[in-house]
Amino acid sequence: MKIASNKFIENASAGKLILLGYLLILLAGFILLSLPFSVSTTVTSLDHFFIATSALSTTGLVSVGISENYSFFGELVILLLIQLGGIGYMSLGSFIILGSKRRISKTGVKLLEFDFSLPKGFSILHFVKNVIWFSLLIELAGAIFLYFIFLNQDVSNPIWNAIFHSISAFCTAGFSLFNTSFEAFKDHFWLNLVISALSFSGAIGFIVFSDVYERLAGRKKQITYTSRIILRFTIIMIAFGTVILFVSDSNLLQYPAWERLMVAAFQSMTALTTVGFNTFPIQDLLGASIFLIIMLMLMGASPSGTGGGIKSTTMTALYAEVISTLRGKKKVTYLGRIIPSHRIKMASSNFFFYTFILTCGIFLLLLTESHPVFDTIFEATSALGTVGLSTGITGSLSPLGKVIIIILMFLGRIGPLSIGVALMTVTDEDAIESEQDIAI
């Protein structure tokens, strides 16, 4: 039992180091964006810090326009922050160390294990290599496809736009160099497909990619339980959101059925994967549709990926617990497998921390802002979920409101439960067990 307590203390220490690392990178990004040659117009220090936080947390909320306020160097800094936030600075640093034939320290391994929270059966160092190679290959492929799409559409600077939007999509950041995101491309099938594929790839997480690769290479007989849960949940929820938006929002009826289906599918995808792009103005959707998007943003992407939200595995574990309770079962089961009690505890704790922080954020924003309540709830949910969708109020937030959103975005990137583990000193012997069956 003492081993369990030591494991928890190690996780708390790792969490503090991860937190400190992201704070230092955030500060560096803020300083670089504040340099005179990073901007093309006058931007306040608070807006610089807002943009830096949004980029590092891969959120996509912007208080000022990117293309009209930042120079190429400023855009490059933003893109680097997105990349570090998406794949994790520990992953990139470890990959460089491994590439130089040096060994990663025990502390480095602990930090990686904490940051990714891998299920049983994964080698963390082998996993890191897969993360970097998968990311680079997918982003490269996405950039190539987007280049030809933008070239065909006479978009200026097609190479830079392709690279920027490919990385932004895969890292589920939602940053765009277009003032209206992808609204001008709502009927462009190939752009919808490429952006959706990139976002889906980032959102399902590196666990699934590594797992599928190992299976195709013949090193595994089947993909892990975690991967099955992630794929099942993500596909079902995107399909569910698409159908509901397609049949229920009368504001979309003006468009042909095929175009309406693309709009519904993209908005459902962008909310659940937390990528934050949009092909239709969010504020023009019906209230019921906006509420549905809020629910999808809350659920979010998957662990060990680039997306935010409560996470698919947490939602699945809680769903399984409810169903098992209603059926009078003593054990919590899903897909024919028993979910260990400590994983249920982690899912419940994650859900509580997340909803508690979100509630506090909404309350504080309602005190400081004069925007409609529904828009404020949407903004806070988007910030904590690192989504980046907005009903259009981000730029008009008060300075205090921007600070609240900054805090929510940063907490969303680190994870509310991880923040709790890092800051609290609890040694309950039952809190963390040595075995992990699924990642929460």
| Interval 382-423: pLDDT, tens | 999 999 999 999 999 999 999 999 999 999 888 765 555 555
User: pLDDT-derived band of residue 355, with 50, 70 and 90 as boundaries?
Assistant: very high
User: pLDDT-derived band of residue 194, with 50, 70 and 90 as boundaries?
Assistant: very high
Contact at 8 Å (CB) between 417 and 353? Answer: yes
Choose between 9 and 303: higher pLDDT: 303
Average pLDDT over residues 324-347: 88
Rounded Cα–Cα distance for residues 239 and 198 (Å) = 17
Rounded Cα–Cα distance for residues 407 and 17 (Å) = 18
Token code pair at residue 66: 């990117």
pLDDT above 90: percentage of residues in the chain: 59
Contact at 8 Å (CB) between 269 and 196? Answer: yes
Choose between 325 and 131: higher pLDDT: 325
Of 6-15, 66-75, 121-130, 145-154, the one with minimum mean pLDDT is 6-15
CA neighbours closer than 13 Å in the CB half-sphere of residue 220: 15
Average pLDDT over residues 162-181: 95
Choose between 438 and 393: higher pLDDT: 393
> pLDDT tens, 110-166?
555 555 555 555 566 666 777 788 888 999 999 999 999 999 999 999 999 999 999
Average pLDDT of the chain is 85
**Number of helical (H) and strand (E) elements in the chain, helices listed first:** 17, 2
CA end-to-end distance (rounded Å), the chain: 22
Which residue carries 């969490």 as its tokens?
Answer: 15
On the question of pLDDT at 235 being above 70, the answer is yes
Closest CA to 308 of 157, 149, 196, 417: 417
Q: What is the pLDDT of residue 139?
A: 95
**CA-only gyration radius of the chain, Å:** 21
Contact at 8 Å (CB) between 363 and 336? Answer: no
On the question of pLDDT at 435 being above 50, the answer is no
Rounded Cα–Cα distance for residues 295 and 377 (Å) = 11
Token code pair at residue 162: 């392709």
On the question of pLDDT at 61 being above 90, the answer is yes
Choose between 275 and 438: higher pLDDT: 275
On the question of pLDDT at 16 being above 90, the answer is no
Phi, psi of 337 (to 5 degrees): -120, 145
Average pLDDT over residues 286-304: 92
Phi, psi of 338 (to 5 degrees): -85, 130
What is each CA distance from 280 to 248, 262, 265, 267, 391, in whole angstroms? Answer: 15, 10, 11, 8, 11
Q: What is the pLDDT of residue 116?
A: 57
What is each CA distance from 165 to 30, 62, 254, 278, 401, in whole angstroms? Answer: 21, 15, 29, 13, 28
Average pLDDT over residues 411-440: 54
Residue type, 241: G
Rounded Cα–Cα distance for residues 287 and 249 (Å) = 9
Closest CA to 139 of 110, 167, 181: 167
Average pLDDT over residues 156-182: 95
Of 88-97, 206-215, 313-322, the one with minimum mean pLDDT is 88-97
Average pLDDT over residues 100-110: 54
Choose between 209 and 75: higher pLDDT: 75
Interior CA angle at 181 toward 54 and 137, to 5°?
70
Q: What is the pLDDT of residue 426?
A: 45
Average pLDDT over residues 54-67: 94
> pLDDT tens, 253-273?
889 999 999 999 999 999 999
Which residue carries 């923040």 as its tokens?
Answer: 419
